[in-house]
């Protein structure tokens, strides 16, 4: 393509509202333009990269035996009511009425639609297993769209759904998608980790998110540098190092709990300062209410409750903080709650509390705490759970190595759905004996447009984008320094033809512009190889620059094709020998 007439509106300045690198560079390089908050148009270069990602996704999904189809974006509300999500989904689900007043949702995801199709079209075990996918626009009315394509309201997604007759079948389908996702993100040139994620109340143990490591990521990943363990913070578990408390050994190891006056000391921080002890020696007691019943949650003083883990411990029940009146009713006082002496209250303890010695708890009396509490002696019979966020310094439960923390952008998610949708929407099959069973489902998503942004987040420098060859809008940027120069134009024409004949995609900068502007734009657009036709055109010599390595060298025009073959065979990352 010739650049003169192509719509590639590069910008020198960064638009004010763009916060993250990928958003800034996609605007500056003329890949996208915003139409409304969280809603973008893809200009020609942006669409080319997006299409290359789609091609990779299609190839790997097809190779994994998944079948592509395409479902509508307009969903009749009846389907979402049948699954129960019409009410649950909240304002993120965009809704409208047609001219006859019938309600529709704009598809935020397609479980309802695909399950209905499978219900109608697959009745026998003979047609199972099957995995269906689509690449399709999704709509989610995010409260706060931001970061360009990373969190939009209209975005491109690949969503796949597997249908199996057994749990072991689901395990195989899941494994197949899991491996395909590895290949997809690898081919896209991403540095990513598959992390264990929480599956919520739906069930299923093997739920993974694919996280692209990036400082601007909105998710926290906990991973072990020594073994393969990785999980998101919602799900991550670790081993707290034991708190070596010298003081307790000397003084109160065998003492009875003792009530001490702690006037107006209601927080862990205040208490630790007042008693000159570590927060690690305090047991934090949090009063909650779930299903109308009060409960006390115990954690070591330096730990934070993970709400998802707590909800899971409550069998998926939603919970709220217990009111002051509620605290009174269980016989305690806000700020001075403790697990000893309460009645008719369920106590749920995090594993960080196990074996604490000489600990401090609230005395359920204003301005008093209890010291010298021995958990094994004074709080015997506690039910322990994993309720806390893993913290820096915890150790890997698998190998014992200290865990690392990182930020990640979620680009993919594989999930064992089970029978949630097949039961509510009635998708069942008959087995060899004619017995009817609900189909067992998995769902698998990739944020295709988010992948595009994540690639740029990980592949850029201060001058612009550095495309992986697999997704670059063009492989080669051919740049003619002076388009008025007949010799340069003649050689450029020749090179352009030979490259395109050889199957390389080439953007030819044939603009009448200052060379500096053109070189800057070439770095900003960031195609793997730049070939510059300049002063030495008469000698048939061009300059070649590799965008990623920065290597620059001269080639004769006749060497170009062979050089491109070598360069792109190695994924555009090799440097010139």
Which of positions 156-215 make contact with a copy of itself (CB under 8 A)? none
Interaxial angle between packed helices 486-501 and 560-569, expressed in degrees from 0 to 180 and rounded to the nearest 10: 50
Site membership for a copy of itself, residue 49 (CB under 8 A): no
Site membership for a copy of itself, residue 99 (CB under 8 A): yes
Minimum CB–partner distance for residue 7 and a copy of itself (Å) = 6
Minimum CB–partner distance for residue 128 and a copy of itself (Å) = 8
Which CB atom, from 31 or from 409, has the smaller least distance to a copy of itself? 31
Retrieve residue 370's tokens. 């209890």
Q: Which of 88, 126, 246, 432 binds a copy of itself (CB under 8 A)?
A: 126
Computed from CA positions of residues 379, 382, 388, 394, in that sequence, does the dihedral angle turn out positive or negative? positive
Site membership for a copy of itself, residue 127 (CB under 8 A): yes
Site membership for a copy of itself, residue 154 (CB under 8 A): yes
SS3 573: coil
CB under 8 A: which stretch of 118-126, 286-294, 300-308, 388-396 binds a copy of itself? Answer: 118-126
Q: Which of 12, 16, 70, 250 binds a copy of itself (CB under 8 A)?
A: 70
Q: Which of 39, 247, 435, 502 binds a copy of itself (CB under 8 A)?
A: 39
SS3 144: coil
Q: Burial, 516: exposed, middle or buried (Cβ in 10 Å; 0-12, 13-18, 19+)?
A: exposed
CB atoms within 10 A of CB 100: 5
Q: Which of 67, 168, 228, 556 binds a copy of itself (CB under 8 A)?
A: 67
- CA–CA–CA angle 177, 183, 185 (5° rounding): 100
Minimum CB–partner distance for residue 308 and a copy of itself (Å) = 24
Q: Which of 71, 216, 233, 555 binds a copy of itself (CB under 8 A)?
A: 71
42-47: long-range contacts, CB 8 A cutoff, minimum separation 24: 43/7, 43/8, 43/9, 44/6, 44/7, 44/8, 44/473, 45/8, 45/473, 45/525, 46/452, 46/473
CB under 8 A: which stretch of 66-74, 311-319, 346-354, 432-440 binds a copy of itself? Answer: 66-74
C-alpha distances (whole Å) from 399 to each of 114, 167, 445 are 41, 29, 31
Site membership for a copy of itself, residue 534 (CB under 8 A): no
CA distance 451 to 154: 15
| DSSP H/E element including 289 | strand 283-290
Q: Which of 33, 482, 563, 576 binds a copy of itself (CB under 8 A)?
A: 33
Site membership for a copy of itself, residue 91 (CB under 8 A): yes
Q: Which residues are within 8 A (CB) of 480 and not within 5 positions of it... i.e. 6 or more apart?
A: 488, 489, 492, 508, 509, 510, 533
The footprint of a copy of itself (CB under 8 A) covers 1, 4-7, 9, 30, 33, 35-36, 39-44, 46-47, 50, 65, 67-76, 91-92, 94-96, 98-99, 102, 104, 106, 113, 116-117, 120-122, 126-127, 129-130, 132, 137, 139, 141, 143, 153-154, 512
């Amino acid at each position: 393509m010739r650049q003169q007439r192509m719509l590639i509106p590069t910008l020198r300045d960064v638009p004010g509202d763009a916060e993250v690198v990928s958003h800034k560079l996609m605007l500056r390089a003329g890949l996208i333009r915003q139409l409304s908050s969280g809603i973008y148009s893809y200009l020609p270069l942006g669409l080319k990269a997006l299409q290359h990602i789609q091609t990779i996704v299609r190839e790997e999904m097809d190779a994994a035996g998944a079948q592509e189809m395409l479902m509508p974006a307009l969903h009749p509300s009846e389907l979402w009511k049948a699954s129960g999500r019409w009410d649950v989904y909240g304002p993120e689900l965009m809704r409208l009425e047609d001219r006859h007043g019938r309600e529709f949702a704009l598809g935020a995801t397609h479980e309802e639609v695909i399950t209905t199709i499978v219900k109608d079209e697959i009745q026998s075990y003979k047609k199972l297993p099957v995995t269906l996918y689509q690449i399709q626009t999704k709509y989610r009315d995010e409260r706060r769209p931001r970061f360009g394509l990373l969190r939009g309201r209209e975005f491109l997604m690949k969503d796949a759904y597997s249908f199996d007759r057994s749990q072991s079948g689901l395990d195989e389908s899941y494994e197949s998608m899991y491996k395909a996702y590895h290949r997809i993100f690898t081919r896209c040139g991403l540095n990513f980790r598959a992390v264990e994620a929480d599956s919520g109340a739906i069930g299923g143990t093997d739920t993974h998110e694919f996280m692209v490591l990036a400082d601007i990521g909105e998710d926290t990943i906990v991973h072990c540098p020594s073994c393969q363990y990785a999980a998101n913070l919602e799900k991550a578990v670790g081993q707290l190092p034991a708190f070596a408390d010298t003081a307790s050994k000397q003084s109160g190891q065998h003492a009875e709990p003792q009530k001490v006056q702690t006037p107006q000391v209601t927080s862990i921080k205040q208490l630790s300062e007042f008693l000159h002890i570590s927060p690690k020696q305090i047991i934090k007691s949090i009063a909650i209410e779930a299903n109308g019943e009060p409960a006390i949650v115990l954690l070591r003083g330096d730990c934070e409750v993970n709400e998802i883990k707590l909800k899971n411990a409550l069998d998926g029940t939603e919970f709220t903080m217990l009111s002051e009146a509620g605290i009174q009713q269980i016989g305690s006082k806000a700020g001075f709650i403790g697990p000893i002496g309460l009645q008719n209250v369920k106590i749920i303890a995090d594993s960080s509390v196990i074996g604490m010695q000489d600990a401090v708890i609230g005395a359920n009396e204003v301005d008093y705490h209890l010291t010298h509490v021995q958990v094994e002696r004074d709080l015997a019979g506690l039910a322990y759970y994993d309720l806390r966020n893993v913290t820096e310094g915890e150790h890997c439960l698998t190998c014992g190595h200290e865990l690392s923390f990182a930020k990640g952008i979620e680009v993919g998610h594989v999930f064992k759905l089970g029978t949630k949708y097949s039961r509510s929407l009635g998708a069942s099959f008959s087995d060899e004996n004619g017995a009817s069973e609900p189909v067992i489902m998995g769902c698998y998503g990739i944020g295709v447009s988010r992948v595009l942004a994540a690639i740029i987040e990980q592949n850029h420098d201060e001058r612009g984008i550095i495309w992986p060859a697999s997704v670059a809008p063009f492989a080669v940027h051919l740049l003619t320094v002076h388009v008025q120069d007949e010799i340069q134009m003649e050689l450029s024409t020749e090179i352009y033809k030979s490259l395109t004949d050889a199957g390389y995609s080439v953007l030819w900068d044939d603009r009448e512009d200052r060379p500096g502007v053109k070189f800057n734009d070439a770095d900003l657009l960031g195609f793997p190889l730049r070939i510059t036709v300049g002063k030495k055109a008469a000698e048939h010599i061009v300059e070649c620059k590799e965008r990623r390595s920065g290597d620059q060298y001269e080639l004769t025009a006749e060497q170009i094709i062979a050089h491109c073959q070598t360069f792109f065979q190695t994924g555009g990352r090799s440097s010139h020998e």
